[in-house]
Amino acid sequence: MDERGDESLAPMACHPEMAYHPEMARHPEMVRHPEMARHPEMVRHPERSEGSPLPLSSDSPARSRASLGMTGMSVELEVKAVIPDLEALRARLLAAGATPRFRGRMSDRRYDRPGGELSLRDQVLRVRAFHHPGGRTASVIAWKGPVERSADGYKRRGEIELPVTGTEAASPHALLSALGYVVVHAIDREVELFDLAAATVRTEQYPRMDALLEIEGEPAAIERAIRATGIPRAEFTADSLADFVRRFELRTGQGALLALP
């Protein structure tokens, strides 16, 4: 055995489950990356570990932990549309039985390492802050996996979210900065969140951009909420915010403004 032999085998002592995956014999890099031993499909499909969008069939489950191979991860399904008339939409939602849950400013700060490590893998590390009346702020730190688009028009991605509590001195920003992350993208918007049956509906107003509507939930709940809005189904897409920004700028000739100065 060479002088590196003990070191290269050390992870197996800490991860005995690695011995149960025959893929290891053909892929010794799994010894160096225990996560690959628990999920050998990453070796057979390396594109899945690089953040490439994956096409989905229309009957893909809306929320499936097993489909992403990670316990504790939830899966979000959502669609977005431009809001033609915000007040009319709000009246329709309330008439349909929607329950308002939050109204105020929502701030997003996206983090990455200077080399764009997460962006290259189509992953997101984000801190979202809800600014309540009276000065109270509630924050959520989230990781989001690569985007998948279903054949029936939903945006789908895995996510892990954790609420943040504590003082400003123990803020998520301080923690992430200590780990080498920097803010690479900022978004500030006035939002209103509604619960409508099993769907979450959110209106979004930006400093300078089209007002958007996002609906999240299981497919049946999303479709019921879409019908309640009165906005044609064809207007809802799985497009990203960047896609809506490009269309706004092409249509108006103005640059979109997504964050407050």
55-56 and 212-216: which strand pairing?
unpaired
Judge whether residue 221 has pLDDT over 90.
Answer: yes
What percentage of the chain carries pLDDT values higher than 70? Answer: 70
The pLDDT, as a whole number, for residue 165 is 76
Q: Which long-range contacts (CB under 8 A, 24 or more apart) does 45-48 make?
A: 48/146
Residue 152, Cβ neighbours under 10 Å: how many?
Answer: 16
What is the pLDDT confidence band of residue 7, given thresholds at 50, 70 and 90? Answer: very low
Residue boundaries of the structural domains of the chain: 5-44, 66-252
| Residue 189 to residue 206: CA distance in whole angstroms | 5
pLDDT, one tens digit per residue, over 61-103 is 334 333 444 556 899 999 999 999 999 999 999 999 999 999 9
CATH for 66-252? 2.40.320.10
**Do 142 and 123 meet the contact criterion of CB atoms below 8 Å apart?**
no
